[in-house]
Structure 1
Amino acid sequence: MTSEQCKAARELLGWHAERLGIMAGASYHTVRDFERQARRTLPRTINAMRAALETAGIEFIADNDGRPGVRRRQAGA
């Protein structure tokens, strides 16, 4: 998951960085710093944030016209 995907996924869900932090067991500052690329984020923390977003219905797209993206998972998928 890229920092851009993280922010876009949060916005699709209407989540603040604080909520993602709570759902992923991370701090608000960790989420914000990851999205701003302000410091290195541990892979396990990125994985936890991604898992929280996926549980909430986000699907990560590996290649969307050459760029990674996100979308809401289709019902029944």
Structure 2
Amino acid sequence: MQLSPEQCRAARGLLDWTQESLAARAGVSRSTVRDFERHRHALHRGTESLLIRTLQDAGIILLPADEHGPGVRIR
């Protein structure tokens, strides 16, 4: 599963988390989250895995892209 910047922002919105909150919970820097969400750089595979796992552990379901694009749900 790949995480898109839009999914990351949407997931944070569903959880009512700031960039700082996601970064702290995932063990990455806020600038990593900020720059990813602003399309400034792609994530390293390991960092992407940390973010995905953190979001999923909090109840986020990441939906793969279909004809409408990728999506996000909360359990």
Q: What aligned pairs does 1:1-77 form with structure 2 within 5 A after superposition?
A: 1-63=3-65, 65-73=67-75
2:18 alignment partner AA: H
Stretches of structure 2 lacking an aligned partner (at least 5 in a row): none
What TM-score, normalized by structure 1, do the two folds share?
Answer: 0.87
C-alpha root-mean-square deviation of aligned residues, in Å? 1.2
What per-residue deviation string (whole Å, max 9, x for no partner) do you get for residues 22-77 of structure 1? 1111011100001011123211101101110000000011135431010102xxxx
What TM-score, normalized by structure 2, do the two folds share?
Answer: 0.89
Cα offset, 1:5, TM superposition: 0.3
Task: Give the % identical residues.
Answer: 42
Q: State how far apart, in whole Å, the 1-side matches of 2:43 and 2:10 are.
A: 18
Q: State how far apart, in whole Å, the 2-side matches of 1:51 and 1:3 are.
A: 15
Q: When the two structures are aligned, how many residues end up with a matched partner?
A: 73
Query: Deviation above 4 Å: which 4+ runs of structure 1?
Result: none
